[in-house]
Each structure stands twice: as C-alpha cells, then as structure tokens.
Structure 1
Amino acid sequence: MRRIALICTLLASGLASAAPAHVHGIAHLDVSLEGNVLNISMESPLDSLLGFERAPRGNAEIARVRAMASVLREADRVFLTTPAAGCSLSSVHLSSSALSPQLLGETASKPAAAEEPAGHADLDADFSFKCANPAALNSIVVQLFESFPAMKSIDLQLVTPKLQKAAKLSSGARTISWSAK
C-alpha cells in the first residue's frame, strides 16, 4: 500500500511541476524546430499583457485586448529569426479562458478552455513559421518586452534536432542563440 501511495505522490508531483506556475510578469516560451517548421508556444498571465485577467470591461479594455492580439498576430515582428534561415510566419492561434475568441481575432470557434482560478487567467499562443533554410537558424530575438512592459522575464525552453537548451530572457537579454551546425 505504501508503494502505491509513493507512486501516486511521485506522479502527482511530476504533473504539478509540468505546468508552468502562474506568476505575474513571467511568461513561458517553448520553442521547437522540426524539419523546416519552427513552432513557438507561449503561456503568459493576462496581467502581464493587459494589466487585468478577466473579460474586458468597457471600450478602453476591449481596445487593449485587440491591440495585444494585433501585436501577437504579427509574430514575425515579435520573434526575429536569423535572416539567413528565411523563416516566414505561417499561423498564429491565440486563446484564453477569460477572452472571447473573436476579441483575439480567431475566426474558427474552438472549445472553451478549462476554467482557471478566479483572477488568474492566462493567454496561450501558438506561432508557427516555415523556414526555407532551417540549418541557418541560430538565434531568435524576442521583442515582447517592448510591447508589454509588465513582462519582466521569460522562461524559455528550446528543442532542435541537435540541441535542448533552457534560458531566461529579460528586456536586457532578449536573444536566444545556439550553434546551427
């Protein structure tokens, strides 16, 4: 019986640590390169992007949500890849349990996200790029800090066919670099 309890405890602790903690000012990026496709997944507290974590109240907050979505939909200006890699943005998907898909510029209706604890809503974003020369890709400059000053740091995980790397980005250290060998 103790062995079953220990296994359950280990599994529960592993699952709890798998999801990033919701901390205002800190976003999480998972970056992967597979073949010629660069995928970037972001999770950020809405507070870091908007200053609030709920459905917008009034026209001014609706405008802030639309402005945030507009910035993120131009992901090729937010994530600057090595020019020689020839990466071009191919898709963007934004979702939040606190914001309607229409406000985020989503055209297809997706199932509602699981409810988050009151006052702690996130934005989940998926960005996909096609790279003409993925072997030349060796850096990404992250421009989120300029558009979202409440964002203080980004925990980044990078996976390529030849490399796994973790980094912490900030407004003074916005570039992740690696060897393109």
Structure 2
Amino acid sequence: MKRFFATAFLTFCAGSYAATQHEAHTHGLAELNVAYDAQQLIIELRSPAANLIGFEHEPQNIDQQVEVENLIRSIQAPENYFVVPPSCALNSIDFSSPYTGADDFGRDRPEEEGAHHDEHEHHEEHHEEREEHGHHEHEEEHEGEHGSENHKDIVVSYEWDCADKNLSAIGVNLFRVYPGIEKIDAQWIVSGKQGAKVLTKSSSNLQF
C-alpha cells in the first residue's frame, strides 16, 4: 500500500507524457514528475538524450562514449540534480537509456531489444531503397520520415524514504548540470495536493 499512490501517479504521468510530449520530442524541454505520500518521495525525470549528452545516435567515437559513461555516473548521484530534505534516504534508482549496456544499470529490457530489432529491419529496407533509387533520394527520405524514429529519450526515477510527514519544497539543479535543458514541465502530487509549474533557469525550485 505504501507504494501504490506514487506508483499510480508516475504510471499516469508516463502515459500522459507518451500521449502528449513524446511525439514532439522537443530539444531543450524536459519533464519532471514528483510524488510524495506516506513519507515516500519519488522523482522522475524524462528528457531527450540531446539535452543531456548533446546527441541521440549511438556513440560514434571515444569522446561520445565518455559522455554516455559520464551521464550514467552522474545519474547515480541524485544530489547532483535535486535538493531534498535531509531526512530523506535514497532507496532506489531506476534508469532507462537507449544506449547499449546502460539500461537500468544492467537489468535486461527485452522489449527494447525488440525495438532495436525493428529499427535494424527498417534500416535494411532503406539500404535496399538506396540501391534502387540512389543515394541522394534515400538521404532525403531518411531525414524526413526515418529521422523522427531515431529520437531517444532518457528516463530516470529516484525513490527516497523520508522521516518528514510533509514536503514543502525541492531544489532542482538540472539547468546548472545540463545547459542543454532550457525548460522543464513539472507536475506533482504531494500529500493529496497536485499542481504544475514550468521551471526555467531563473525559476528552478518547486514549492508545494
């Protein structure tokens, strides 16, 4: 019962995000979902990969691989991102990344393997089109239709167990850590109250 409220909220937020935000996939924009109930705090961050590492394709050189590795290390230290009450003790981190070897810190994600397989088949279809219609025509189609399918999002959620019965505020340091983030759509349910706010570099804290 302790987890039901927060889990249900984040499930709703994930569905809402997929329906309204994912298709747009706006670079510079991220989403933050916060739930606090029964002294349990959950914060979920959703962002295009480009906001965090500057690209969305698979790493193509050592520098880009280092960017992915640095991101994974940074994600494991939520104090880099958020200021939560001192009474809150980190309980778990759940991380979903489109990059090889980074999903959920080593947990298997067969559904994403299937998605990768579909993308591979789609790539082979385009390769055949290049042979049939020519390189230039294929490149235009790749950018116009297939390009939108290459968008990659990173999702990370944190769970804390807290001693305080009430949560009054959370500090958000994401703009300082990731200059690629220009705006954050935040929504929350805290102790039965709900609200939303657009965070910017000049107004980055959440007051409940």
Q: What band does the TM-score fall into relative to the shorter chain?
A: 0.7 to 0.9
The offset of 1:17, in angstroms, is 7.4
Q: Per the alignment, do residues 108 and 22 of structure 1 end up closer, same or farther by CA in structure 2, a change over 3 Å counting?
A: same
Q: Corresponding residue for 1:23?
A: 26
Instruction: Choose the corresponding residue for 1:120, options 151, 170, 173.
Output: 151
State whether structure 2 residue 95 is matched by structure 1 residue 94.
Answer: yes
Measured in 1, the distance between the counterparts of 2:72 and 2:16 equals 30
Amino acid paired to 1:29: L
**Structure label with greater radius of gyration:** 2
Instruction: Choose the corresponding residue for 2:205, options 155, 175, 180.
Output: 175
State whether structure 2 residue 162 is matched by structure 1 residue 162.
Answer: no
State whether structure 2 residue 61 is matched by structure 1 residue 58.
Answer: yes
The offset of 1:54, in angstroms, is 1.5
Measured in 1, the distance between the counterparts of 2:150 and 2:59 equals 13
Is 1:157–1:165's contact at 8 Å kept on the other side of the alignment?
A: yes
Is 1:138–1:177's contact at 8 Å kept on the other side of the alignment?
A: yes
Measured in 2, the distance between the counterparts of 1:38 and 1:50 equals 27
Q: Corresponding residue for 2:11?
A: none
Is 1:65–1:104's contact at 8 Å kept on the other side of the alignment?
A: no
TM-score of the aligned structures, taking structure 1 as reference length? 0.79
Structure 1, unmatched stretches of 5+, are 1-13
Measured in 2, the distance between the counterparts of 1:81 and 1:29 equals 14
Amino acid paired to 2:63: A
Measured in 1, the distance between the counterparts of 2:19 and 2:93 equals 24
Q: Corresponding residue for 2:108?
A: 109
Amino acid paired to 2:40: V
The offset of 1:68, in angstroms, is 1.2
The offset of 1:124, in angstroms, is 1.1
The offset of 1:105, in angstroms, is 6.9
Q: Corresponding residue for 2:178?
A: 148
Matches within 5 A, 1:69-88: 69-83=72-86, 86-88=87-89
Whichever structure has more helix as a proportion of its residues is 2
Measured in 1, the distance between the counterparts of 2:17 and 2:30 equals 17
Q: Per the alignment, do residues 16 and 51 of structure 1 end up closer, same or farther by CA in structure 2, a change over 3 Å counting?
A: closer
Q: Per the alignment, do residues 15 and 92 of structure 1 end up closer, same or farther by CA in structure 2, a change over 3 Å counting?
A: closer
Is 1:76–1:89's contact at 8 Å kept on the other side of the alignment?
A: no
Number of residue equivalences: 160
The offset of 1:120, in angstroms, is 1.2
Instruction: Choose the corresponding residue for 1:67, options 60, 66, 70.
Output: 70
Q: Secondary structure at the match of 2:160?
A: strand
Q: Secondary structure at the match of 1:69?
A: helix
Whichever structure has more strand as a proportion of its residues is 1
Deviations 1:35-58 (A, max 9, x none): 121111111000101110111111
Measured in 2, the distance between the counterparts of 1:140 and 1:69 equals 22
The offset of 1:110, in angstroms, is 2.3
